[in-house]
Chain A
Amino acid sequence: MKTLLLTAVLLSVSTVALAEKIAIVGGKVFTGTAQGTLESATVLIDNDKIVGVSSGTSVPAGYTAMDATGKYVTPGLVGAYTQLGLVEVGMSAGTVDSSVSQLPMSNTGAAFDVSYAVNPDSSLMGISRVDGITSAATTISRTDYLFHGQGAVITLSGEAQPVLKPKAFVAVNVGNAGADDIGGSRAAVWVMLENAIAEVKDAPKALSATSEWHGINSRLDVNALRPVVAGNAPLLIHADRAADIRQVIAFKQRHPKINVVLVKGMEAWLVADELAGAKIPVIIDPEFNLPGGFDQMGATLANAGRLHEAGVTVAIGMETHNIRLATQHAGNAVAHGMPHDVALAALTVNPATIFGMSGEIGSLTKGARADVVIWSGDPLEVTEAAETVLIEGKVIKHTSRQIKLQERYQSFSDTPKASQYIR
């Protein structure tokens, strides 16, 4: 049965991969665009790009049809906040590129650049890809510096050039964890952040490697922060406590050009209206509902739904090895009040928009990368799964290190035995 299925999939790989024009026909399609969700629709793909989505099941001439009747079709999911490509095994297992230690070239951490470090052959790529994650934001998670370096947006295609957008954002933590790293207090971390930014605004236009410079930032930090100050690369600010988030909003008001994104935001629902007013989107894990510290007392599973209700743009997907569980996180947001189509947007078009890539990934809009997933059913149901994943218009092989391990040991349980119950 399994072998047969696999053969069928492999066959479809070789046939479909050759097709230049594909029509995915008959599925329930979440477009991630103004078209919304269409009950029975056709997604047209020309080589590596989306042509468009239309209601109905007619296939234009020249397109190879791919049946998705009874299935759900979505854009490839965008991991909103990950360390993909930077870590294989985190603990006691050698180099971890998402962890950066002290180095004299940087004073504030902005200079570090993960685009040099992304490994497209990481086993996490295939394991996440077969479950529908086709691109992701990735960055440093552990450093003693103020900023967590310059993150990148990557594709999980496994191809030689994984970076879609280098220097795509810079992250900073102003909550308990950030304060612990910077002076042990918010009274230090905010002064440091404010002055690091002010310094970039005042810095000479040209700051070469040999320019004389005395600042909180190193020369490389200043250059790394210029796109942030100009509003071209978002500044991702981690904060949970409502009071911290109010500081984030005040920061945005002081620096209206900076594209501020709130990350984690466990108490964000308490200041949802203000966040909406300040047009600050939020990246969250909606399942966090416990007070891990005194800055998370208001944590609740209702966070995602309440933020949306107030008009805040929400992205979901903070994980690395199990970024594939972002669909479950979003499903639980739905179980606690977030509308279903909004939760799908939180996995796709919203993170794409946050990283300034809405026309390229995360939606089935004309001209976007043809990253498309056909699901067995509702993608947010834990019992459903990605059945066919296309990246840049090509059906990826349904294989991964985990699938190979499973197949290798399958024979041990091929003959079902009566389950044993010890007393």
Chain B
Amino acid sequence: MNNTHKRLSIMMLCCCAFWLTACSEDKAAKTEQAAKVSIDKNPFPSRYTPLAGEPTLITNVTILDGIGNKIDKGMVYFADGKIVEIGETLSVPDGVRTVDGQGKWVTPGIIDVHSHLGVYPNPSTHSHSDGNEAIKPVTANVWAEHSVWPQDPGFGRALAGGITSLQILPGSANLFGGRSVVLKNVPNRTMQEMKFPGAPYGLKMACGENPKRVYGKRGGPSTRMGNVAGYRQAWSDAQDYQRKWDQYEADYEAGKNPKAPKRDLNLETLAGVLAGDIRVHMHCYRADEMAVMMDVMKEFDYQIYSFQHAVEAYKISDILAENNVCSAMWADWWGFKMEAYDGIRENVPMVHNAGACAIVHSDSDLGIQRLNQEAAKAWSDGRRAGIDIPQEDAWIWLSANPAKSLGIFDKTGSLESGKNADLVMWTANPFSTYARAEKVYIDGGLAYDLNDPQSWPVGDFELGQVGEGDSK
């Protein structure tokens, strides 16, 4: 949002200057311009403040830096919330807290690009079911952040699994399900206090079975061709809407006093995608449907940043690479519906091996607790199929590629100097079932410590209940 915000401020500055000039130089103008209508693109700003941290040096660890490098016996130094340096030996100022990580591993924090924590929280009662505004197929006007219940115990469980950031998406009932929000996984009282500063918004779209099942007997779409007609009409409407605003801008710039178009929150989000401010993340299983969607993408000149689930991505990995679209995948889920019937265990490594962007995602309040194991399965399934990817490259599926698809890779997703100190120290190689996240740091603050029960999150909902404060 920083960029957008900046652009907006500049725009407003320009407008003010123009208005002042117009006033002073042409007081006799027949039509005096009304104040220019401009839209606040960030009405629910982040109120996130990092946990207090202290300069820390972790020594004697195996490091995966998240961008393809491995250091067998290395050190990680972070201070003031940022990674300062990683290397085999580092010299650091006196008085720095030192953590001896003998035999342990350090990786970037895991970023899950597909979570419904908070919008489909536990307990999964009807009163908490806030993830699908399933009233009509196009609801780009709704924002997942307005449904997020920060007391969802799932955030704390995910933290214990090394999740440091996550994208909360609306569900997939609708063609356009609404805006997503990226959160820092530091449980807090309000959504705003968890909101990732400066992360762009996403827009959830959905292919295939879900929209046609939900709307098939409610006015449609009831077919896949109906789905595609729905996307195209909506994008076309968004273009029309944008032209009205462009006209307003142009008229205003020309000194006229135009009437601002009526805001349409649905089309505003879609126009935001066409302007490049909002990133499309699209639920799509089948290869043939993904190929059609990439053509729709070209027709309306926007970018799909990820296909979510992408169970058949392995069939079109070359086309995905060519179009620069990421695939966010499970390691081995399959068969729960027809569009998931062709799932295979080698999907992730095959997409990676074709030079396309592979991401391991969860879409599950259980899976999000063990995404390292999901990557480990995909990694080893690839090896058995003759695709030998080093573990230091495979970690890209868990941090760097997710960060890139979300537009936050300049801030997190790898252990590079100057980036947020979002990292995990694991008890062992995180490609093992038996490894546990021992220390989870977010912006340099210790958010979770396996060995300190006081650090285990207990949300309001679990307070005073059976199992409060237990190891989970």
Contacts and interface: CB of A to CB of B under 8 A. Distances in A.
A416 to B, nearest CB: 5
B122 A383 contact: no
Contacts of B67: 421
B157 A289 contact: yes
A409 B471 contact: no
A150 B365 CA distance: 32
A101 interface: no
A300 B472 contact: yes
18 contacts: A89-B338, A91-B209, A91-B336, A93-B337, A290-B366, A292-B124, A297-B465, A325-B332, A328-B377, A385-B384, A406-B346, A409-B314, A409-B350, A419-B357, A420-B356, A421-B400, A422-B404, A422-B405
Given A267-B467, A291-B122, 16 more contacts: A89-B336, A267-B466, A270-B466, A292-B123, A297-B462, A298-B467, A299-B472, A321-B334, A328-B377, A382-B377, A382-B380, A383-B432, A406-B344, A410-B385, A412-B354, A421-B404
A227 B4 CA distance: 70
Contact of A382 (B326, B352, B393, B433): B433
B234 interface: no
A187 interface: no
A206 to B, nearest CB: 44
Interface of A: 1-2, 88-93, 123-124, 242, 267, 270, 287-294, 296-302, 321-322, 324-325, 328, 331-332, 334-336, 380-385, 402, 405-406, 409-410, 412-413, 416-423
Interface string B421-445: 0000000000111111000000000
Contacts of A270: 466
Nearest to A299: B467
B257 interface: no
B370 interface: yes
Interface stretch (B39-47, B80-88, B218-226, B315-323): B315-323
B166 to A, nearest CB: 16
Contacts of A300: 467, 470-472
A290 B409 contact: no
B379 interface: yes
A267 B466 CA distance: 9
B467 A89 contact: no
A85 to B, nearest CB: 13
Contacts of A296: 123
Nearest to B320: A420
Nearest to B384: A385
Contacts of B369: 287, 289
B401 interface: yes
Interface in B346-390: 346, 349-358, 365-366, 369-370, 373, 376-377, 379-381, 384-387
Given A89-B338, A420-B357, A423-B404, A383 B376 contact: yes
Contact of A89 (B124, B314, B337): B337
A325 B377 CA distance: 10
Name, among A93, A291, A385, A419, the residue most crowded by chain B CB atoms within 10 Å (CB to CB).
Answer: A419
B399 to A, nearest CB: 12
B153 interface: yes
B433 A402 contact: no
A321 B330 CA distance: 14
Contacts of A413: 314, 317, 349-351, 353-354, 387
4 closest Cβ pairs, A-B complex: A417-B355, A331-B433, A298-B467, A413-B353
Contacts of B465: 291, 297
A132 to B, nearest CB: 14
A339 to B, nearest CB: 13
Nearest to A289: B472
Query: From DSSP, what is the main secondary structure of chain A's interface residues?
Result: loop
Given A290-B366, A335-B436, A420 B343 contact: no
B396 A419 contact: yes
Given A300-B467, A300-B471, A420 B123 contact: no
Contacts of B387: 413, 416
A417 B353 CA distance: 6
Contacts of A421: 67, 357, 396, 400-401, 404, 409
Nearest to B350: A413
A405 B433 contact: no
Interface in B435-472: 435-436, 461-462, 465-467, 470-472
Contact of B377 (A242, A290, A383, A412): A383
Contacts of B209: 91-92
A405 B342 contact: yes
B324 A422 contact: yes
A31 to B, nearest CB: 22
B432 A297 contact: no
A335 to B, nearest CB: 5
A402 B314 CA distance: 12
A416 B317 CA distance: 12
Contacts of A321: 333-336
Contact of B337 (A91, A297, A324): A91
A402 B213 contact: no
Which of A242, A267, A298, A324 has the most C-beta atoms of chain B within 10 angstroms of its own C-beta? A298
Contacts of A417: 321, 353-355
A2 B122 CA distance: 44
Interface in B139-168: 153-154, 157
A124 B366 CA distance: 23
Given A294-B123, A302-B471, A331-B433, A409 B466 contact: no
Contacts of B24: none
Given A92-B213, A417-B321, A419-B396, A124 B354 contact: no
Contacts of B405: 422
A322 B333 CA distance: 7
B289 to A, nearest CB: 16
